[in-house]
Chains A and B, each alone.
Chain A
Amino acid sequence: MGLRSGNATAGALAMLVLAFGLILRIPAVVPAGIVLVGLGYAASLAVQNDALDARAPVVAAALFAAAELGYWSLELRDAVADEPGAYLRRLGLLAGLTLGSLALGQLLLALVDVSERSGIAIEAVGVVAAVAALAIVALASRRPAP
């Protein structure tokens, strides 16, 4: 009961932060809201047993869709008239990306499931993940060529 109420509080707080940021047009609140929900989910994982949570791909896809929708709503605040059909195309892309996220999550979980949970494999995945994260941050922060 305590875990559920904690998750609900985190979700409500994230929603408030997101709504506040969207009204005031602050893009930084989108990742802040996602992080809040993610922290709630991580806390729920911490009190669970060691079994893999099968809901993780769904949570990942939902968080990704929420982030995309948040940025989309920020972009819509710009007074730029879109040509007919633009929203449908965007919705299609968003649906595709969300479904892709779901599939990717399932694939990752399946990969982890078949490997040894407590062996060297999980450590290797973690190291690769950390290196990948650093590489992504470096790629993102590189300066464009003049």
Chain B
Amino acid sequence: MRRSASPRITAYAVLAAAGLVGALAARRPELAVLAAPFAVTLALGLRLDREPMVGVWLSLDRDRALERDELPLELELNSEAPIERLELRLVVPDGLQVVDGDNPTAIRLGRDDERTIALTLRCLRWGNYDLGEIRLRARDRFGLLVWEQALDRRRPLRVYPHPETLRGLVPPMATQPFTGNEVARQKGDGLEFADLRAFAPGDRVRSINWRASARRAGTGELVVNDRHPERNTDVILFLDSFAEARDAERSTLDLAVRAASTLASRYLERRDRVGIVSFGGILRWLAPGMGIAQRYRIVDSLLETEIVFNYAWKDVSIIPSRTLPPQALVLAVTPLLDERSVAALLDLRARGYDLAVVEVSPVPFVRPGESEADRLAYRLWLLHRQELRSRYERLGVAVASWDGETPLDAALEGVRAFRRHARLARA
């Protein structure tokens, strides 16, 4: 531990010296009497000074949690020698909050004493945390000397985004050849009835629709049922991490990661292949995959997402081609704040990708200014955003606005409705 003198030690030394020298100069022993308590306290404090030996261990209830979870934590302390006052502070990173227990706290430890300090943390924001930087400050009995130490008892803590409730997902336009839960538009073996057609060599007998064949008995033609097969889909989550709008408590990136995590989990539950492209100052991607392992890979990748300012122009050509398989549904989660991501999404649409946009609205984070010019600028900005959404919609791209307050499901319903109408229009 690092020893330092408290302000009291210098003050008492000065007072003792002044009193004693004053007594000598003025030839008044009463001044020495005034100095005596300070001198004796100083001498005793320095004589009895011993370096404290404190052991501290940190234990976390678990190393993974969800946003809004409360997480018990224990700090175990022991000391060989008595410590009159030990101040202990656990450095809590932004995004976590102590909701129960005292931090910092001061305790007294006796000889060979063991103590346990219990704290409860609330996880306010998703992210990767290293928890366990502990600051100790011990004072002697007279408060003259201070011993300080910073301990590193870091334990990793992963806080996953809180999942949003979703009743339905955005169905893709096209499916992949593998079995899944999505009813394909193509015809083949499946459960969902599609159409009737004339029997052809190779058709199975059990697919013959005998009632329909009977109705066409005059033609002597057998009729078989056509069905839609259940297939899986490829879904690429396109997360825009170029820019964010933020206030003291949350940001569009927080909401975007929460939405992307929820969507990834729900698509993976349907046996779809899900990949992710984090398009921003740093490009990150994860090739499509399926299963629980892919779910953890995606969420871990999302936890590392951060806004990195970068002025370089980037377009979709820098995204590895295997990350964007043909006929994949690209679901963009973006605040539509940066021109580069806006242009990249338009480019993806122009290349024929099935695209839908969940706009994490930055509007709740922006307050119109006081002056008339500020209010005018605010209205122009809103109009510009509306025009941007219209531009996407003219290209057949559904845009749903989500502000974090309304359920994500409501925003996705807007996407689904738009895509239903878009299908009808094309038909």
Contact = CB atoms under 8 A, between A and B. Distances in A.
**Chain B facing A: main interface SS:** helix
A20 to B, nearest CB: 16
A93 interface: yes
A90 B34 CA distance: 22
B36 interface: yes
Nearest to B19: A38
Given A81-B102, A112-B29, A89 B14 contact: no
Contacts of B40: 100-101, 104
A130 B102 CA distance: 47
A107 B257 CA distance: 75
Given A60-B33, A86-B106, A122-B29, A71 B143 contact: yes
A contact patch SS: helix
A129 interface: yes
B13 to A, nearest CB: 4
B149 interface: no
A100 B209 CA distance: 109
A79 B14 CA distance: 29
A127 B24 contact: yes
Interface in A34-71: 34-35, 38, 41-42, 45-46, 52-53, 56-57, 59-61, 63-64, 67, 71
B143 A108 contact: no
A42 B11 contact: no
Nearest to B29: A112
Contacts of B23: 126, 129
B27 interface: yes
Interface band, chain B: 35 or more
Interface in A110-136: 112, 122, 125-127, 129-130, 132-134, 136
A34 to B, nearest CB: 6
Interface residues of A, number: 55
A2 interface: no
Given A60-B36, A108-B33, A122 B22 contact: no
10 contacts: A31-B12, A38-B18, A53-B30, A59-B34, A81-B104, A97-B41, A108-B32, A126-B23, A133-B39, A139-B43
Interface of B: 2-24, 26-43, 46, 85, 87, 89, 102, 104-108, 141, 143
